Amino acid sequence: MNTSPLLRHTFTRLIMLTVTLLTLWLPFALPNHVARAEFQSSAPAAVSQVTLGESSAAAPALMVFNNRLYLAWTSTESTRRVNLMSSADGSTFTGKVILGESSAAAPALMVFNNQLYLAWTGIETATRLNLMFLNGQTFSNKVTLPESSSTGPALDSFNNQLYITWTGTDVYKQLSGSVFVDPSSHPIVDQTRAALASTLELIWPDTSLGCPEPGVRYAQVTVSGYVVILEGFNRLYKYHTTDSVSSIIRCDNQ
């Protein structure tokens, strides 16, 4: 399908914004400043915060495994090593491990089949995706995928399978994904990319962008925008956006 440069640019901005929204935390630091890893838990009557004496070059990752809260992050040193600590109470983190792996982006953690998996994007020229799992007290069984990413990957488990998704290094920054049955032996069951299926430029009658929620009032002003349909994982995903892609609504049921 041929699309205009404007629509290709809009789609690229949509993908980049979607990835941004999925990021757990992206610290912003001016030159010579460091971004600290921070934790905050809240209840109606109390708020507590713990600031660790560690610095991160990108977003950290958190995951609960065997009654411990695990934290992974990328250091700010020139080596950009991936670090790991854990806590039994969510306040005191101990057992810092500096892995012999480096990344310029955020790592990802996920529990699958009673094992804790760590994924990251390497810093070599090809920026390959990597995966390991916790074996006792150390991570092992490193798997390097033949895929490259411009950012950190995401991990999740669903229907007894482990999914890894990432932003590609192509000009459109396409979202891609692979599914594992047994990640330790590296069998990829399926791989897909979130491809642009269609776009439609139109004028929304109000600020609901054609996808109103019950009981919500919307400003009755016209808004220029698009219907963008992505295809991936054997299904279609429909998004309604403004023309500047400053507002995006997933609207599969409309």
The domains of the chain, with CATH numbers, are 5-28+49-194 (2.115.10.20)
CA–CA separation, 140 and 198 (whole Å): 42
The pLDDT tens digits for 200-227 are 899 999 999 999 999 999 999 999 998 8
pLDDT band at residue 181 using 50, 70 and 90 as cut-offs: low
Backbone angles phi, psi at 58, to 5 degrees: -155, -170
pLDDT band at residue 105 using 50, 70 and 90 as cut-offs: very high
Q: ∠ CA 18-23-25 to the nearest 5 degrees?
A: 145
CA-based nearest residue to 84, from 71, 75, 94, 93:
71
What's the pTM value of the predicted model, to 2 decimals?
0.61
Q: ∠ CA 122-174-195 to the nearest 5 degrees?
A: 150
State the pLDDT at residue 14: 47
DSSP assignment letter at 181: S
